[in-house]
Amino acid sequence: MNPLLEPVGVSHFMAVGALMFVCGVVCMATKRNALGVLMGIELVLNGANINFVALSSSFLSASGKSGLGLDGQFIALFVIVLAAAEAAVALAITLNFYNNHATVDVDRADELKG
Amino acid sequence: MESINWHSFFFFLFALVSCGFAVMVVLSSNIVRMAFYLTISLGATAGLFFLAGADFIGAMQLMIYVGGTLVLLVFGVMLTAQGPFVSMKTRGGDWILAAVLSGSLLALLVPAAFTVREWRGPSPVDAVARMEPTSTPLGMGLLGIRVDKLEDRPEKLKEGMSSYLLPFEIVSVHLLVVLVGAAYLARTKRRRDVRMESL
Amino acid sequence: MDTKTLASLLPILLGIAWLLPLASFTLIVLFGPRMGKHGVGASYLATLAIVSGFACSVVALGLWMWVHPLSSAHAAAPEESIDAARQHEAVVDHGADGHASGHHELKTPIYYTGDLYTLGQFGKLKVTISFYIDALTVGMFAMVTLIASCIHFYAIGYMHDELHDVTDHEVVLSDGHHLHRPGRFHRFFQYLSLFCFSMLGLVYAGNIAMVFVFWELVGICSYFLIGFYIERKSASNAANKAFIVNRVGDFGMIIGLMALWGGIGTFAFGDMEEPDGTTSRGIFSQVRDAENGYKLTIPDGMVRATVPEVVEEVAVDHRNNPDPLAAESEIASRLSTYREQHYGYWLLVIAGVGIFCGCVGKSAQFPLHVWLPDAMEGPTPVSALVHSATMVAAGVYLTGRFYPVFTPEARLVIAYCGAITLFLAATIAITATDIKRVLAYSTVSQLGYMMLALGVGGWVAGLFHLITHAFFKSLLFLCSGSVIHACHTNEMPKMGGLLKKMPWTGYTMLVGCLAIIGAGLPPVFGFWPFGFGLSGFYSKDSIIAQAYSFWTENPTHGMILFAAAAGGASITAFYMFRLWFMTFIGPPRDHHIYDHAHESPRIMYLPLVILAFFAVVIGWTWPGVWGVTDLLEQARWPAEASAGVLLPNLHYPDEHESHVPAVHLVAGLTAFSTALGGFLLATVFYGVRWLNAAEARQQFAPIYTFLVNKWYFDELYDFLWVRPAHVVAGVVSWFDKQVIDGFINNLARWTRGLADIDDLIDRYFVDGLVNLTAAWTWSFGNSLRGLQTGKLRQYVMLIVIGTVALTIIINFASAG
């Protein structure tokens, strides 16, 4: 069966979202650079966003009815906006950390360990 | 001979780009390159949004993420990338652990995506017919009117109860606060540093 | 001014005389130490107060005699019949509040009574400050203030040692030194003022409750003054003894008061106009009802109190009777029957004897006479005051005041008490060598005379002797004080021949001695119908005459009582002159003392002269103008002529009968001869020393020892009361220490043990539990610390692990 001949459904989008999410998680788990971690977060958020958008789409599902309707797109919109805000704050925190420790290595930021 | 479903074709194209560059973000160790790969990945995602019928969201993705957030990140990279990056190498053990974990997570998520029959996809005929612009309904929703649900909602919810006017306002104020806070946090404090160094 | 207005001045005058010493006391209490150098001003203030009081009293006395001229029936004309005497008495105006009597012969005495201030009213009980003024009150005021004035003057001289720091040689401290203390001059006069105030209040009082209050005040003042040298063990003991012995008597007095109030329902002596115009009847008029011929009447209340069941029965019977007075009239009609059966009589006897008990304590009568000789520990002016005008006089005064209430039985008790006391004290006085002790026993003996006189019906005689005795006894005490002041010793055997050194003291004391033995010319020598002599002569004669008169009516009792009186007179003469001879006559026995002896300063011997003058003249009568007996006669209740219930054969002769020449002649001769006998015996032993006193002493050794030991009364009381009290106290103390303390200690021990156990539980169980919880929490938290690595990437991995695990678990759970 040639996938190019078949219409894609929500599941395909969700598979892409899952892959992006996992990439983001791995990124967060492996990067020692704080900015790398931030990028991981962006990826995770995007993965989630793909899911929302896909679920709000009315013609991707078999029944022709969207699960979330426009609500999914609203949530996606807010996620984008909040990601921007989060990026700004995280960057500010990173800069502060860099100012104080002259590095952006998250392994060095362990002052609160037990 | 069935014709190529262009919708599917573009989907796979964008999916390939976005996922491939996402994997490259993970694998790259150069922070500048990572930023570049991320830009491409997010841009491809915007394409996916268009394909899902969310034209306004896709546009926003391009504008805010690619045009705003990533520029911010690049600024961060430029401001902090003064020291050597050699010491920032991740150890092999971490890699293996992360791979195992992410693999298992992926193994959970992808099958889950295909478990619901409803989500497998519509008949090819209906696919393009119902595409319509979403910026107007979204804008009306943010202003308090759900034009998409005029028919099938209970009377009470029509009057704006289910719209996003209030979250929109909250988010806008939140953004303002966040930006002010970010500006404050990012402010350089030379005097303190000098004192600490002198100690 | 009419007589009524003048008479209304009496309470004011006497009230001023009464309150002045209180003012002086208050001022000295507040400012005493700052009055002049070492508080010398206190003496002037106190003296001024009492002298002013004396002036007021004299004015009051003059006023009284102006308003109520004396009738001198019997004194002027003894040959007149008794009836005539009574008629004269009847002429006397009855007082403003007096109860008019239908009888012609017998009259209620003149008195003025009224409330000054009502302290409180509790149902029937009304406690007031009131006055009761009759001739006796006026006379007592004059006597007390005069003597107290003399004693104040004397004390200014006598107490001068207290003006600076005093070294008391009789007190040895634990470090072997003598006590050195600041002088207490002002305090002495402060007590004297309070003493005078109390005594005058007692005389002024118009109800028995007020009498009781001042009675106790007199007691506490005597306690202060006897214990003036409080550091001396003997002084504080004597003060305690006086106070405690008086308490015994006061206990009886309270019983008497309860009986009186419970039965009669009033404390007031005389009839009093109520604000609503009615007259509330006092104690006297209820007991001696004028309508009943002044016979002893058992008051309604007392009869009622003894038959409560009858009263209740009547009340029950008339429960439904609309007329509220019916029950009362029914009871009243029944009471007369019960009265005839002598219901309530016992209550009256108890009231009389109870009140007399108080007088026994105050006036040092047998068996409570033991405190008075010990009271010599006080300074001599105090002794003089206590022994003449205040403390002991109070008892006799109250007995006289309550005379109408006494039943014949109570009177016989009084008479015997007096007779025993007078004989007992006189015998002890023979052997005493302490000059003040001789006088003390002489006082006890003379008080016995007064009680005897009252007991045998000689009301005027007894109180007359009280007044005359007050003068010569204070004189004698002040003289002895003067001697002690000069010799610094109380022991007569160390004196002798002092007459040359101290003529003023010696001769005034001789006057006192002559007065007390009743020196005078008996009527048989006849310049004067009643004989002629010093004051004591008249009073003692009238007592013996009354005793003789009593004897003629009651052979058995009369003989004993008359013998005691006559014998006592003889012994009195003996010991008084023994005292005088030993002190002033003969060779000096101790030359050291003799050489240092000197006459006292003028401020001390001038009062002696004044008192000596009065000791001579106070008994004299100027018919129709002056006479103590005539004055007292005005105050006498017609309280004779009633037979006792228990002693139906006891007859009390009317006191006027003792003035009949037949009686009086016998009595006068007896008194004269016995006194002369005693005097001669004393002269033989001590004056001219024909006989050796020491030999006589050896000859009568057992009697002498017996008397020296004061009839062993102290020992007897020690054995009877003090020892048992100590034994009981010891037992109680043992019980306290062993049982109660032991119980409490054991309880405490148990409690402690329990607390210890509790402590263990607390420490190991409760605390352990809490600590264990804390330790668990801590170790748990500690173990969780390891998870908090601070490594961001690790957290991310943990989140992933958690998510995966959760998903798997949920999948399996939903699948299962």
The per-residue pLDDT for range A13-64, each reduced to its tens digit, is 999 999 999 999 999 888 888 888 888 999 999 999 999 998 888 777 777 6
Which one, of C287, C246, C245, C145, lies nearest residue C714 by Cα? Answer: C245
Total Cβ atoms within 10 A of residue C208 = 26
Which one, of C411, C378, C674, C427, lies nearest residue C553 by Cα? Answer: C411
Determine the straight-line distance between the first and last CA of chain A, rounded to whole angstroms.
Answer: 56
Which one, of C202, C145, C547, C557, lies nearest residue C358 by Cα? Answer: C202
Average pLDDT over residues C227-239: 86
A8 vs A41, higher pLDDT: A41
The C-alpha of A109 sits at a distance from chain B's nearest C-alpha, in angstroms, of 13
The two structure tokens encoding residue C426: 């006189």
Q: What is the pLDDT of residues C662-699, one digit of tens each?
A: 777 777 788 888 888 888 888 888 777 777 777 777 77
Which one, of C254, C252, C344, lies nearest residue C298 by Cα? Answer: C344
The two structure tokens encoding residue C788: 């908090």
The C-alpha of B155 sits at a distance from chain A's nearest C-alpha, in angstroms, of 18
C285 vs A16, higher pLDDT: A16
Handedness of CA A83, A84, A85, A87 (dihedral sign): positive
Nearest CA in chain B to C804: B105
pLDDT at B95: 86
CB proximity B182 to A under 8 Å: yes
Interface test with B, best of A21, A31, A103 (most B CBs within 10 A): A31
Select the residue of C784, C789, C800 nearest A113 (Cβ to Cβ): C789
Average pLDDT over residues C419-427: 88
* Residue C587 burial by Cβ neighbours in a 10 Å radius (0-12, 13-18, 19+): exposed
pLDDT at C745: 92
Interface test with C, best of B26, B89, B90, B105 (most C CBs within 10 A): B105
**CB within 8 Å of chain A, chain B residues 63-122:** 64-65, 68-69, 72-73, 75-77, 79-80, 83, 85, 87-90, 94-95, 97-99, 101-102, 105-106, 109-110, 112-114, 116-122
Contact C605, C523 (CB under 8 A): no
The two structure tokens encoding residue B84: 């050597």
The C-alpha of B177 sits at a distance from chain A's nearest C-alpha, in angstroms, of 9
The C-alpha of B151 sits at a distance from chain A's nearest C-alpha, in angstroms, of 13
Average pLDDT over residues C764-793: 88
Q: Is the pLDDT of residue B188 over 50?
A: yes
| C-alpha angle C360-C366-C368 in degrees, rounded to nearest 5 | 60
Considering only B83-97, C169-183, C350-364, which range has the smallest mean pLDDT? Answer: B83-97
The listed range with the strongest mean pLDDT (B73-77, B160-164, C457-461) is C457-461
The C-alpha of C809 sits at a distance from chain B's nearest C-alpha, in angstroms, of 12
Residues C800, B108: C-beta atoms closer than 8 Å: no
DSSP class of residue C133? E
The C-alpha of A3 sits at a distance from chain C's nearest C-alpha, in angstroms, of 29
Neighbours of chain C (3+ CB pairs under 8 A): A, B
Q: Is the pLDDT of residue B86 over 70?
A: no
* Band of residue C93 on the pLDDT scale cut at 50, 70, 90: very low
pLDDT at C95: 39
Select the residue of B94, B101, B108 nearest C801 (Cβ to Cβ): B101
pLDDT at C92: 36
pLDDT at C525: 54
DSSP class of residue C786? T
The C-alpha of B99 sits at a distance from chain C's nearest C-alpha, in angstroms, of 10
Nearest CA in chain B to A3: B8
pLDDT at C770: 93
Taking one residue from B and the other from C, the number of pairs with CB-CB distance under 8 angstroms is 15
The C-alpha atoms of residue C268 and residue C124 are separated, in whole angstroms, by 12
Handedness of CA C292, C296, C302, C304 (dihedral sign): negative
Residues B72, A87: C-beta atoms closer than 8 Å: yes
DSSP class of residue C434? B
Residues C800, B105: C-beta atoms closer than 8 Å: yes
The C-alpha atoms of residue A43 and residue C811 are separated, in whole angstroms, by 26
Amino acid at A4: L
CB proximity C8 to B under 8 Å: no
Q: What is the pLDDT of residues C719-733, one digit of tens each?
A: 888 888 889 999 999
Q: Which residues of A fall within a CB distance of 8 Å from B5?
A: 4-7
Cα B111 to the center of its chain, rounded Å = 22
Cα C184 to the center of its chain, rounded Å = 25
Q: State pTM to two decimals.
A: 0.64
Q: Which residues of C fall within a CB distance of 8 Å from B26?
A: none
Residues C796, A28: C-beta atoms closer than 8 Å: yes
Q: Is the pLDDT of residue C79 over 50?
A: no
Considering only B120-124, C137-141, C264-268, C773-777, which range has the smallest mean pLDDT? Answer: B120-124
The listed range with the strongest mean pLDDT (B26-30, C24-28, C685-689) is C24-28
Residues A70, B137: C-beta atoms closer than 8 Å: yes
The C-alpha atoms of residue C158 and residue C600 are separated, in whole angstroms, by 9
| C-alpha angle B150-B155-B156 in degrees, rounded to nearest 5 | 115
pLDDT at C369: 83
The C-alpha of A80 sits at a distance from chain B's nearest C-alpha, in angstroms, of 7
Select the residue of A107, A111, A114 nearest C786 (Cβ to Cβ): A114
Q: Is the pLDDT of residue C91 over 50?
A: no
* Band of residue C71 on the pLDDT scale cut at 50, 70, 90: low
Cα A26 to the center of its chain, rounded Å = 12
Contact C529, C489 (CB under 8 A): no
pLDDT at C639: 61
Bridge-based pairing of strands C166-172 and C178-181 is: antiparallel
pLDDT at C41: 84
Q: Which residues of A fall within a CB distance of 8 Å from B72?
A: 84, 87-88, 91
CB proximity A33 to C under 8 Å: no
Residues C793, A114: C-beta atoms closer than 8 Å: no
CB proximity A23 to C under 8 Å: no
CB proximity C799 to B under 8 Å: no
Q: Is the pLDDT of residue C338 over 80?
A: no
* Band of residue B24 on the pLDDT scale cut at 50, 70, 90: very high
Bridge-based pairing of strands C279-280 and C532-533 is: unpaired
* Angle (deg, nearest 10), helices A70-101 and B165-186: 10
Residues C788, A107: C-beta atoms closer than 8 Å: no
Cα distances from C664 to residues A41, C394, C553, C623, in angstroms, run 146, 29, 15, 18
Determine which helix (DSSP H) or strand (DSSP E) holds A107, and give its type and residue range: none
Contact C395, C359 (CB under 8 A): yes
pLDDT at A17: 93
Determine which helix (DSSP H) or strand (DSSP E) holds C126, and give its type and residue range: strand C125-133
Select the residue of C800, C807, C808 nearest B101 (Cβ to Cβ): C800
Residues B102, C804: C-beta atoms closer than 8 Å: no
Average pLDDT over residues C497-521: 83
Average pLDDT over residues C87-114: 50
